[in-house]
Amino acid sequence: MTVALVTGASRGIGRACAIRLARDGFHVAINYRSKRGSAERTLSEVMRAGMNGVVVQADVSKENEVLLMFAQVESELGVPLVLVNNAGIYPRKPFDELTKRDWNRVIHTNLDSMYNCCKYAVPNMRDEGWGRIVNVSSMLGFSGSTQGVHYGATKAGVIGFTKSLALEVARHGIRVNAVAPGATLTAILRGYTEEQKMEKFGGIPAGRLGRPEDIAGAVSFLCSGDADYIVGETIHVNGGYLIV
C-alpha cells in the first residue's frame, strides 16, 4: 500500500484530505504543529477507513523538523510517495500595518514549507519512478487578497513553484499539481458572522460556501491514476466565485 503524507492535517482541509486518501486506499501520515489531540482524531478516522496511519509533529517551515518528520514516517509507516502540502496560515492585516516579522512568518509557513517537504519527498519518488505531489494554493493567489498581501503573495508563489517543479520531475513519473480553494468552511472563516459571510460570499454561483470535503475530492483525483497526464496544473474549487 502507498503512503501519503498530509501536512497541516489536524483540522480543516488537511484533515479532510487525510480521511479521503485513507478511503482511497492510502496509509496516511498526519502532520500537525501543535494540536496533537486534533491530529489523533484525524488518525482515528483514517483507521476507521481500514488504513494504517501515524501522527507526526513538525513545524514544516523548519527544514530540520521536516527531516525528522520524514524519518519518523519512513520508520513507522513507510516511504511517502504521495505528498499533500496543505499547511498554511492566513493572518489578515492591512498592508500599512504589515511588519517584516508578519511577512516572514507567512512566507516561511506557506512557501518555505513547500520547498522543505518536496526536498525530502522527491528523491524517494524519483527512485520509485512514481509519485504525486499536490500543493494547496488559494483562489486569492489569483484574485488578490484584501488585508492579505503576504498571504496572496505566497499562494501565487505556490502556483509558480508547482509549475516549475512539475517540469523538472515529470519525466520521473512524478506528477506535481495544485488545488486552489475558494471560500471554505474552515477556521479562517470563524471570525465572520453569518451576515458577514452572506455579504461577502453570497454571490457564489454554486449557492454555498465550500466544504473541506470539496477540496479533498480534487486532491483525491490528482493523486489517482486518472490524473497521470495532468502536469503542473491547478484545479480551482470555488463554486464559480472566481469567474463572476
Averaged in consecutive runs of 10 residues, what is the pLDDT profile of the chain (244 residues)? 96 97 98 95 98 98 98 98 96 93 96 98 98 97 91 97 98 98 81 69 87 97 98 97 86
What pTM does this model have? 0.95
Listed residue (66, 46, 45) closest to 56, CA to CA: 66
Burial of 195 (0-12, 13-18, 19+ CB in 10 A): exposed
Catalytic residue among 90, 120, 151, 241: 151
Query: CA-CA distance, 77 to 71, in Å (whole number)?
Result: 10
Q: Assess whether 32 carries a catalytic annotation.
A: no
- 8 A C-beta contact, residue 155 and residue 85: no
> Which runs of consecutive H residues, i.e. helices, occur in the chain?
12-23, 36-48, 63-76, 100-107, 113-128, 140-143, 149-169, 194-201, 212-222
- 8 A C-beta contact, residue 61 and residue 108: yes
Q: Which CATH superfamily is domain 3-243 in?
A: NAD(P)-binding Rossmann-like Domain (3.40.50.720)
Predicted confidence at residue 185, as pLDDT, reads: 83
Q: For the CA atoms of 223, 224, 225, 229, what is the dihedral angle to 10 degrees?
A: -50
Cα dihedral sign for 150, 239, 4, 6? positive
User: Backbone phi, then psi, for 114, in 5-degree steps?
Assistant: -65, -45
